[in-house]
Amino acid sequence: MPLSPDGLIQFLKTVHPYDSLDAARLAELAPKFEVIHAATGDEIYTLGTPMQGLYLVHHGEVEVFDENGMTVSILGPRNSFGERGLTRDGIAVTTARANDDCALLLLPRADFDALMQSEPKVARFFDRRRPGSAAQNSLATRRVADFMAKSPVTCSSGLTCQGAAQLMRDHHISSVCVTSGDALEGILTNRDLTEKVLAQGLPISTPVAQIMTRDPLTLPSSAIASDVLHAMMEHRIGHVPVVDAGRLSGIVTQTDLTRLQAMSSAEMIADIARATDATAMARVTARIPALLLQLVAGGNRHEVVTRLITDIADAATRRLLALAEERLGPPPVPYLWLACGSQGRQEQTGVSDQDNCLMIAYEMQKGDAAYFEDLARFVCDGLDTCGYVYCPGDMMASNPRWRQPLSTWRQYFEGWIKTPDPMAQMLASVMFDLRPIGGTTALFTGLQEEVLQAASANSIFVAHMISNSLKHTPPLGLLRGIATIRSGEHRNTLDLKHNGVVPIVDLGRIYALQARLAPVNTRARLEAAADTTVLSPSGARDLMDAYDLIAQSRLQHQADQIRTGEAPDNFLAPSDLSDFERSHLRDAFVVVKTMQSALGHGKGMLG
């Protein structure tokens, strides 16, 4: 079906960074996009050929391959690709192929270059996606502490070779460190057992001390990955113990280096796309903590890290929807699966439950309900298997309340806006963060615009939403010092989610409501609000800086926990920070408190 000019503009309003452009600029830009249709298996462009411009997926799925034929990414609606090919004299550095029938929007190269030069926000967005930043799996930048195997298996020098072999077998490892207390005496590998015991006919009762490598080459945890690689190549070894202050703290193997170089969100998404069930997907999502650690250690900004992690949840959801349709047959009428909460905002970290809902086309019949109940249960159960645990508040499509035809959804929003009681405020806050994941996106586009217009025009509803948004406050004491949790299992810590990030998420949502802004991502909302009257440029800069610091601190805390083998959470002890870090974090909380106060007194546009 051809895409009308108005339809194209409405679509671009839902895509970042185009949603940050004003109406006149968007109307000027939209006609420059060319609509291209690609059938399943068609190559959109090929490695080494001239790039035509920037591609944007309207519908369908595109797979991008590197020069070795490895999958770089699998892209769906609203994803852009091809900008990397514009960085090397306009020659494609990847190959893109349609995985199913696609409609693509092509912004010619000259128009893309002009847009990058004239719109700083667009340039910042695509600059962050280009190669050359610290956000790569570089052996030159990754510290050993971030990827070494912690708590390595050890034995005493008096253990027999048979006993050591059994240890390696039981732990599925290829070496064992020989220690005396915390001190490293030597290392025994599978190669030692083969060449020094079996090949020489020594008895299996031979003590480890007789064949181990004494005083092996070691590195500190502060070394970088390239140090390990160079040591392995120079000394022809495959295992490097990690020793700090005379104490064994870890070990790095060739497998660890291979895994370091191979791990990426694109690889994980490709694995999910090939998974045949939720259990197989769970083996992929179990690697998310390691990916988070890698991304944070690689110097990526928080909005990049959370976007990449959310992409994995999106891919898992779409794969489960596809598997559900394979099992249940095609849907009787069109539907749309949407995410809300942190997934909807593309802000997932290492700790996430699931929040989702299902919109079904108007023509839904009573007999169709059973199909969608089975589909929702299949997907929600699958997400739980993948580690996205059931929502404690049952805000999921498996709950009939959140699995309704479009007519009912319109009634929901109309009722919440007309009668903004506390429950309505809470539900509206969640539902204003909706983002389409899989299905027919057209079911939501018109509804989103209608709801924003109706909600922003109702001053009583907006006032209630503002009041509700101020319930989460930064952790500041009477003298604006940092205030920690006073009791319970998280005593003397800061809740960087509910008292750190959430107050800014709430502010961003209010600004989006007041200015009728389409983005649901918090930082995108703040950027868009800076160009309106609801937020001054100076206020926007201060709030975005505060958000960046708090969100980055939260991710760094989770990465530190993962590095030490702990489950990530949101509770940071200020005592773990330096005086410098505490001071800046306090200043960030003060900025948020100031912006909340301005909003609460009807001064949301003041900085």
Q: What is the mean pLDDT of residues 257-271?
A: 73
> For residue 439, what are the β-bridge partners?
336
Confirm if 177 and 250 have CB atoms less than 8 A apart: no
Confirm if 124 and 66 have CB atoms less than 8 A apart: no
3-class secondary-structure state, position 87: coil
pLDDT attached to residue 130: 46
pLDDT over 80 (residue 129) = no
Name the nearest CA neighbour of 551 among 489, 600, 499, 598.
499
pLDDT tens string 139-163: 556 788 888 988 899 999 999 999 9
Q: What homologous superfamily is domain 263-450 in, according to CATH?
A: Beta Polymerase, domain 2 (3.30.460.10)
Residue 181 gets the label, from left (phi > 0), alpha (psi -120 to 50) or beta, of left
The ranges assigned to domains in the chain are 5-129, 144-260, 263-450, 470-600
The position carrying tokens 């699998």 is 74
pLDDT over 80 (residue 509) = yes
Cβ neighbours, 10 Å, residue 256: 19
Both structure tokens of 191: 């190669």
The reported pTM is 0.68
pLDDT tens string 554-594: 999 999 999 888 999 999 999 888 888 888 999 999 999 99
Element (H, E) at 229: helix 225-235
Say how far apart CA 562 and CA 350 lie, in whole Å.
9
Q: What is the mean pLDDT of residues 387-403?
A: 95
pLDDT over 70 (residue 329) = yes
Q: Which range has the worst mean pLDDT, 80-84, 468-472, 510-514, 537-541? A: 80-84
Confirm if 264 and 309 have CB atoms less than 8 A apart: no
3-class secondary-structure state, position 74: strand
Say how far apart CA 171 and CA 154 lie, in whole Å.
11
Name the nearest CA neighbour of 71 among 346, 382, 379, 315.
315
pLDDT band for 236, please (50, 70, 90 cuts): confident
Name the class of domain 5-129.
mainly beta
Confirm if 575 and 492 have CB atoms less than 8 A apart: yes
Q: What is the DSSP letter of 353?
A: B
Question: Which string of DSSP letters, residue by residue, matches 137-162?
Answer: --TTT-BGGGTSEES--EE-TTSBHH
Say how far apart CA 41 and CA 58 lie, in whole Å.
17
Q: Which range has the worst mean pLDDT, 14-23, 32-41, 434-443? A: 14-23
Share of the chain above pLDDT 90, in %: 54
Answer CATH for 470-600 from 1.20.120, 2.30.29, 2.60.40, 1.10.1660: 1.20.120
CA-CA-CA-CA torsion sign (78, 332, 386, 427) = positive
Name the class of domain 144-260.
alpha beta
